[in-house]
Each structure stands twice: as structure tokens, then as C-alpha cells.
Amino acid sequence: MLLFVSISILMSCKKDPVEVNHYELKNQWGQLGVNNGEFNRPSKIEITKDFIFVNDIGNNAIFKFNKNGDYINKLDFSAPFYIFDDTLYILNSLNKSSISKYDLNLNFISEKLFHTSFYGVTEITGNSQNAIATTNLDSCFVIGIDYKTNAIKRGGTLGTDNFEFNWNGNLIPAMINDNYVITDPDNRRLQIISKNLEFISLIDTDIPSNPNVMAVNSKYIAVSNSTSGEAEIRFFDINSYKKIFSISIDGFVGCIGFYENELYVLQTDIGVVKVYSIN
């Protein structure tokens, strides 16, 4: 009888597992179109404390919005860019090879010329010291850029081995700690490389098919596939690379971006930015 009572007490004290809610949709705004602040093939979204910037290829512009989604102004050209320390770094590959700096009001600051070709570059990310650009050229998918010495290093050819890529479209780079992570879509993995273009490691556990959308914050690597009409954004721990949770999106995810614990998801099929709070 005593044993039965003890077991009953233990069973009554056992708690059900707590279900963790990792995300919450906080806001959404935007629409398709060709007017200022409307979306037509957006390819990059970057977020600061007060503003949102979107590279829109179809509208040939880099748009600036406030955090409520109100259009503010634009640059009258489309180009790969990233933001570091409240400065836009914009790559030019048309009539010259350069990287220009603009402030958050989209005022020109300076331009650095490089004696090389940036032909084929589709994305870029980095900091004030160095950057990584990715291309759609299977002879050289990755370009390392050193701002201090103006040194350019190239690497990453077509294939399935380490520091080889298999994709005929855009590879997405992002900073991860002091290194870079790059999507490798047809090989269904991510690759981590150093700023000197040295291979470090692979992330290939539970990566979605053809991962070609990615963003990184201090806690997660978020990865998705823009070619699926029923997209899923998967979140991996930035240290263990284990999948923690996912968000299902009914539509096409064109690009995503983090600002601290907020994830901004730009759906290209409806032209809407969805803002999620991420735990």
C-alpha cells in the first residue's frame, strides 16, 4: 500500500513538458508594385535600429523605410550592399569595380576603387575591415576583399567537395562570429570559411532543400528556400548547428534579415515584410 501511494504521489507531481514558443508575428506591411516603396524582385533586406533598407532589382532602387514600413527615400540604383556600424557598403560592378560608403540618410561618403573585376557579384557582406562577395560564376564563387590592403582573393569552384559549390544562382553570405557562412544550395548545406577564404566546416544536418535564403544573429542561423511556394525557415543554434525550431511560410521567401531578436521576412509573391519576434 505504501509503495502504491508513493508512486501515485510521484505521478501526480510529474509535470508535462513546457512547450517553448520560439516566435511571434509582430507586424507586417508592404505591397507589390513599381512605385516608391513597393516591391518588385527584392533581393536583400538590411535592418538598423531605426530603419529598413531593401535592394529591389525590379525597381532598380535601394529603398529606405522606417520601422513601421513607411517609405522614406531611395537610391536610384540596385546593387549588392551590406550595413556595418550605420554605414552602407555598396558594391559597383558595372562601369568600374568599387565599393562606396553611404550614411543612413543615403548621403555619399566615399568610394574605394579596386584593380580587379567584380563582374558576376550578386551578394556581399562584411565589416569595416574586410568583406566576402559571392558570384554566379562557377569558376570563382567567392571573392575575399581586404579594405586595408586592397587585396583581393578568389576561391570556390563548382563541385561537391569542401569549399566547392553547386548552384547556378545566388549564394548568400553572412558573418558568423569572426568568419563567414555561405549557402551551398544544390549541395544542400552551408559552408563556413575564414576571411582569408580558408575552409573551416560544413553544416549539413537537416538543412532545407536548395537553401538560398539566410540570416544570422547572435543566437541563430536562419535558413530557407526562396523557390518553394510553401517555404520553411529553419533556425539552427549558432554554436552547435542543431535545428531548434522552424517557421512555415505560405508563399515565397525572397530574403530575410535579423535585427537583434527580430526577423524580417520579405515575401516576394505578395510583396509583404513580416516581422517576427524570435526567442
HEC string for 35-84: CCCCECCEEEEEECCCEEEEEECCCCEEEEEECCCCEEEEECCCCCEEEE
- Please tell me the predicted confidence (pLDDT) of residue 16: 46
- Please tell me the predicted confidence (pLDDT) of residue 231: 86
Contact of 118 with 92, CB cutoff 8 Å: yes
Would you say residue 54 lies in a domain? no
CA distances (Å), origin 91, targets 86, 177, 214: 16, 23, 20
Q: Quote the CA–CA distance of 202 and 168 in Å, as a whole number.
A: 20
**Residues paired with residue 182 on neighbouring β-strands, in sequence order:** 173, 191
Would you say residue 39 lies in a domain? no
Would you say residue 269 lies in a domain? no
| CA proximity to 79, closest of 41, 34, 123 | 123
- Please tell me the predicted confidence (pLDDT) of residue 169: 67
**Residues paired with residue 56 on neighbouring β-strands, in sequence order:** 42, 61
The two beta strands, 243-249 and 231-237, are antiparallel
> Across the 279 residues of the chain, what is the mean pLDDT of every consecutive 10-residue run?
44 48 95 96 96 97 97 97 98 93 98 94 96 90 95 94 86 94 93 96 85 95 82 93 93 95 96 97
Query: Is-above-0.95 flag for pTM?
Result: no
| CA proximity to 89, closest of 123, 64, 66, 61 | 123
Would you say residue 104 lies in a domain? yes
Would you say residue 72 lies in a domain? yes
Q: Quote the CA–CA distance of 2 and 5 in Å, as a whole number.
A: 5
Q: Work out the burial of residue 14: count CB atoms within 10 Å of its CB; fewer than 13 is exposed, 13-18 middle, 19 or more buried.
A: exposed
Structural domain of residue 213, as residue ranges? 63-247
Contact of 115 with 96, CB cutoff 8 Å: no
Domain total in the chain: 1
Would you say residue 124 lies in a domain? yes
Would you say residue 162 lies in a domain? yes
CATH number at residue 225: 2.130.10.10
- Please tell me the predicted confidence (pLDDT) of residue 11: 47
CA distances (Å), origin 88, targets 69, 106, 110, 278: 19, 8, 11, 25
Residue 98, C-alpha cell as written in the block? 568599387
The two beta strands, 61-66 and 71-75, are antiparallel
In the block, cell 510521484 appears at 10
Would you say residue 69 lies in a domain? yes
